């Protein structure tokens, strides 16, 4: 595999754990050589709970949600994207912090409802929501459904008409903006399965989006509240967001003339990037908020449009940096002239992002965190694939069997994309805050692995 080829240019540095800056959760510190997060000793936690283990710094999650609230202002709304990381404890944290929630399946909706989330604050996504999922969402009374296609408009209208209710919706639009990120997580271009195109193609010369607006306005049981666009994920260049706003404002202007419709809500999706590596310099939440609010105000002002309520749906930038994964080193293979494989007790089942997107991660030894990370190793998993790598060419203190490795930035799209490949049990999740560790999701057991088997 190309991405496993040895790169002799990569050399270890002598930086210590704390020099990882923005990669670390805000409460990370080193005390008597051990990594502490949320005031909790990660080495002791690994000993108590076993590894692999997901750990989340609750203070960091709260800080990110508050930063979004402040950056957007009271008139606008942050809607956390549950696909990044979701369980009942996370839902309760969102309730405490006043965030809305974006769910993208009946399953995510069920988790939210099981944890007591206000359905009126839920935004339901999906490019092929089943009839059952739509019915569940409408019955629960979700605040908004983001309609993705013509079939769905008809389905929503049929379900609400039968029930004698009305459902507020947004229409997902493809703004034709190509965000500067990995192709697998780009969604805003015309050639995408998500949403209605603005020009040509499906729907004729006026574009599918304009036709969808007309349909939504005409169909019974539907209240068209506004528009939605999500251009991709792990985006560093804020210009893509500005471009999206400009395109949508033009569309809003055209809609006012063609159908007299003005959106109450404009939802710009998620996508803000985070620092996975020490050298990464993502934009801040404050920069994003100020760009979105000022650009929207100026575009609407120019066109004489009323200012819609702005929503954003961040996932990664709320939880990624808060999370780390603890592993134990089991095997070390030094291949002369090639590389040093350090095998840990997890891998692609708890973190598929390296295999899927060539993602890069920083790591440290939690039990020797004050020492310089002066060796380059490849953190490999325990699964039956060569591509089962968590961190390629990672700087680490020279590892020994039994050391506890902490991999940073794993709070988003790790637990939520985990699998049982090789019948691996999924790790537990611990929330740490103010010196307390709280197990919020237990590790799976072998009994869980056969629980669905029917004899
Ligand atoms: N809203 C919508 C409609 C989305 O599809 C997504 C992510 C978000 C919000 C949240 O985006 P974020 O703020 O997290 O960038 N598994 C990939 C990421 C896939 C993102 C899918 N949609 C990864 O691990 O990089």
Indicate which atom in ligand 1 lies nearest the CA of residue 353.
Answer: 24
Which of 71, 77, 81 maximizes ligand 1 atoms within 8 Å of its Cβ, making it the mutation to test the pocket?
Answer: 81
Helix (H, G, I), strand (E, B) or coil at 232: strand
Q: Which residue out of 233, 289, 352, 412 has the highest number of ligand 1 atoms within 8 Å of its CB and is therefore the one to mutate?
A: 233
Residues linked to residue 196 through DSSP beta bridges, in sequence order: 173
> Ligand 1 — pocket residues by CB below 6 A?
81, 83-84, 102, 125, 185, 230, 233-234, 269-272, 313-317, 353, 357, 413
DSSP string, 388-449: -EEEEEEEES---TTPEEEEES-SSSSGGG---GGGPPPPEEEEEETTEEEEEEPPP-HHHH
Cα–ligand 1 centroid distance for 310 (angstroms) = 18
Identify the residue whose tokens are 């990594």. 35
User: Among 56, 131, 64, which Cα is nearest to 87's?
Assistant: 56
Sorted by sequence, the CB contacts under 8 Å of residue 124 that are 6+ apart come out as 102, 103, 104, 109, 133, 137, 142, 144, 145, 146
Angle at the Cα of 20 from the Cα atoms of 18 and 21, rounded to 5 degrees: 90
Residue located nearest, by CA, to atom 16 of ligand 1: 413
Active-site option among 299, 300, 340, 384: 384
What percent of the residues of the chain are helix, what percent strand, and what percent coil, each to the nearest 5? 35, 25, 40
* Centre of ligand 1 from the C-alpha of residue 228, in Å: 14
The backbone region for 397, taken as left when phi is positive above 0, alpha when psi lies in -120 to 50, beta otherwise, is beta
- Tell the residue nearest (CA) to atom 23 of ligand 1: 413
User: How far, in Å, CA of 407 to CA of 395, rounded?
Assistant: 11
As a whole number of angstroms, the distance between CA 295 and CA 92 comes to: 33
Lookup: tokens for 34: 């051990």
Tally of CB atoms within 10 A around 262 = 14
pLDDT beneath 70, residues of the chain: 1-14, 180-189, 200-206
Quote the ligand 1 centre to 104 CA distance (angstroms). Answer: 10
Euclidean distance between CA atoms 125 and 106, whole angstroms? 10
d(CA 138, CA 419): 30
Domain at 73-318, CATH class: alpha beta
The model's pLDDT over 229-252, given as tens digits with 9 standing for 90+, comes to 999 999 999 999 999 999 999 999
CA of 311 to the centre of ligand 1 (A): 15
Contacts of 186 (CB under 8 A, 6+ apart): 178, 179, 192, 231, 232
Q: How far is the CA of 353 from the centre of ligand 1 (A)?
A: 13
Q: Closest Cα to atom 6, ligand 1: which residue? A: 270
Q: Which of 286, 348, 282 is nearest to 320 (CA)?
A: 282
Domain limits, the chain: 4-58+322-450, 73-318
Residue 4 has a pLDDT of: 42
- Which atom of ligand 1 is least distant from the CA of 315? 14
Tens of pLDDT, residue by residue over 23-63, are 999 999 999 999 999 999 999 999 999 999 999 999 999 99
Burial 8-28 (b: 16+ CB within 10 A, else e): eeeebeebbbeebebbbbbbb
Per CATH, the number for 4-58+322-450 is: 2.40.37.10
Q: Taking Cα atoms as reference points, which of 395, 357, 165 lies closest to residue 273?
A: 357
Task: Quote the CA–CA distance of 310 and 248 in Å, as a whole number.
Answer: 12
The question of whether 384 is a catalytic residue gets the answer yes
Q: Which two tokens stand for residue 406?
A: 């902490």
């Amino acid at each position: 595999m190309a991405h496993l080829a040895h790169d002799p240019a990569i050399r270890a540095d002598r930086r210590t754990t704390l020099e990882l800056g923005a990669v670390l959760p805000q409460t990370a510190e080193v005390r008597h050589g051990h990594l502490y997060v949320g005031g909790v000793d990660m080495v002791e936690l690994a000993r108590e709970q076993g590894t692999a283990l997901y750990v989340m710094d609750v203070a960091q999650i709260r800080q990110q949600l508050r930063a979004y609230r402040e950056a957007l202002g009271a008139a606008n709304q942050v809607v956390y994207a549950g696909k990044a990381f979701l369980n009942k404890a996370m839902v309760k944290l969102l309730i405490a912090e006043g965030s809305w929630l974006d769910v993208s399946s009946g399953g995510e909706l069920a988790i939210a409802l099981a944890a007591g989330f206000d359905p009126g604050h839920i935004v339901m996504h999906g490019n092929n929501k089943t009839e059952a999922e739509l019915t569940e969402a409408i019955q629960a009374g979700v605040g908004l459904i983001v309609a993705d296609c013509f079939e769905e408009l008809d389905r929503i209208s049929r379900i609400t008409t039968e029930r004698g209710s009305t459902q507020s919706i947004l229409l997902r639009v493809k703004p034709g903006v190509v965000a500067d990120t990995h192709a697998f997580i780009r969604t805003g271009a015309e050639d995408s399965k998500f949403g209605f195109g603005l020009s040509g193609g499906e729907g004729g010369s006026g574009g599918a989006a304009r036709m969808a607006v007309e349909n939504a306005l005409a169909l019974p049981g539907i209240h068209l509240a506004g528009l939605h666009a999500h251009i991709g994920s792990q985006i560093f260049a804020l210009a893509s967001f500005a471009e999206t706003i400009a395109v949508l404002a033009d569309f809003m202007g055209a809609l006012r003339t063609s159908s007299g419709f003005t959106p109450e809500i404009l939802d710009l999706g998620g996508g803000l990037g985070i620092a996975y590596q020490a050298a990464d310099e993502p934009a801040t939440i404050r920069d994003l908020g100020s760009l979105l609010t000022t650009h929207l105000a100026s575009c609407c002002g120019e066109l004489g449009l009323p200012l819609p309520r702005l929503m954003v749906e961040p996932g990664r930038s709320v939880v990624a940096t808060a999370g780390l994964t603890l592993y134990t080193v089991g095997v070390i293979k030094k291949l002369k002239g090639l590389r040093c494989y350090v095998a840990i007790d997890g891998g692609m089942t708890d973190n598929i992002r390296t295999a899927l997107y060539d993602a890069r991660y920083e790591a440290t030894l939690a039990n020797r965190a004050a020492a310089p990370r002066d060796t380059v190793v490849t953190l490999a998993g325990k699964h039956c694939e060569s591509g089962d790598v968590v961190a390629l060419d990672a700087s680490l203190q020279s590892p020994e069997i039994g050391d506890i490795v902490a991999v940073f930035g794993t709070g988003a799209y790790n637990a939520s994309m985990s699998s049982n490949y090789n019948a691996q049990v999924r790790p537990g999740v611990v929330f740490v805050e103010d010196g307390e560790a709280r197990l919020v999701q237990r590790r799976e057991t072998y009994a869980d692995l056969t629980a669905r088997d029917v004899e």
